[in-house]
């Protein structure tokens, strides 16, 4: 078990998965401070969702490493955060920094070596096509078909237009098979309409 002090970026609806990338535009002063501190140390930032509008945080987040970074003259940043490892927050730390820091336990996992069954992969691809058609998305399905299971599952989990509660459930799902099954269920749920052309949500 690895315990680590992590500087966090609490952002509703923003989910980062290991092996994925998340572009961020940093403009608030406290998060400029966060990025500046991270660049000076280890380039690490923890992405975690707040619960609603309050200060409480969900327990599970993902540690990311700043890859590409563009520092602007006015102090803003554009960064690409590369997902490394999920973590569970043990406690929030009392600090003097403008940004929040937590003590967290890093998850010991290696999902990159996991694989879906033929039936699971087929179900995920079929439901993804149906969902994309309903949403009116243009998708390069040939390119999708070339993705390994790990990349496909986490890419869908990260970019799919689900609400924050669904996104968090995907982040917390252990194992590719469990996450793939949950994605299929969520696509079926969010793909429904109530007759007034309003999308249902989990909120």
Residue 53 burial (10 A CB sphere; 0-12, 13-18, 19+): exposed
pLDDT tens, 136-194? 888 888 888 899 999 999 999 998 889 989 999 999 999 999 999 999 999 999 876 54
Q: Which stretches does DSSP call E strand in 59-170?
A: 60-71, 77-92, 101-106
* pLDDT, tens digit, 9 for 90 and up, residues 101-133: 999 999 998 898 899 999 999 999 999 999 998
Helix (H, G, I), strand (E, B), or coil: what is residue 65?
Answer: strand
**DSSP 3-state of 12:** coil
DSSP 8-state class, residue 134: H
Does pLDDT of 201 surpass 70? no
The DSSP letter of residue 193 is B
Say what the pLDDT of residue 78 is: 97
Instruction: Tell me the two tokens of residue 20.
Output: 């994925």
**Residue in 132, 173, 179 with CA at minimum distance from that of residue 152:** 179
What pTM did the predictor assign? Answer: 0.88
Both tokens of 95, joined, read 């600090």
Pairing of strands 2-10, 101-106: antiparallel
pLDDT of residue 108: 93
Taking the C-alpha atoms of residue 67 and residue 77, their distance in angstroms, rounded to an integer, is: 12
CA distance 76 to 74: 6
pLDDT (average), residues 45-55: 88
């Amino acid at each position: 078990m690895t315990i680590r002090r992590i500087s966090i970026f609490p952002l509703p609806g923003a989910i980062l998965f290991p092996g994925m990338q998340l572009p961020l535009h940093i403009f608030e002063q406290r998060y400029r401070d966060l990025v500046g501190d991270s660049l000076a140390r280890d380039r690490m930032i923890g992405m975690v969702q707040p619960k609603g509008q309050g200060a409480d945080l969900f327990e599970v987040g993902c540690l990311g490493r700043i890859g590409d970074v563009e520092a602007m003259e006015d102090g803003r940043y554009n960064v690409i955060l590369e997902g490394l490892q999920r973590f569970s927050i043990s406690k929030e730390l009392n600090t003097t920094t403008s940004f929040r820091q937590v003590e967290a336990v890093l998850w010991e996992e290696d999902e990159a070596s996991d694989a879906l069954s033929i039936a699971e992969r087929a179900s995920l691809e079929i439901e993804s096509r149906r969902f994309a058609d309903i949403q009116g998305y243009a998708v390069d399905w040939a390119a999708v078909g070339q993705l390994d299971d790990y990349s496909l599952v986490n890419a869908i989990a990260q970019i799919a237009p689900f609400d924050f509660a669904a996104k968090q459930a995907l982040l917390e799902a252990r194992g590719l098979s469990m996450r793939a099954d949950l994605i299929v269920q969520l696509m079926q749920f969010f793909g429904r309409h109530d007759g007034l052309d309003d999308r249902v949500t989990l909120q």
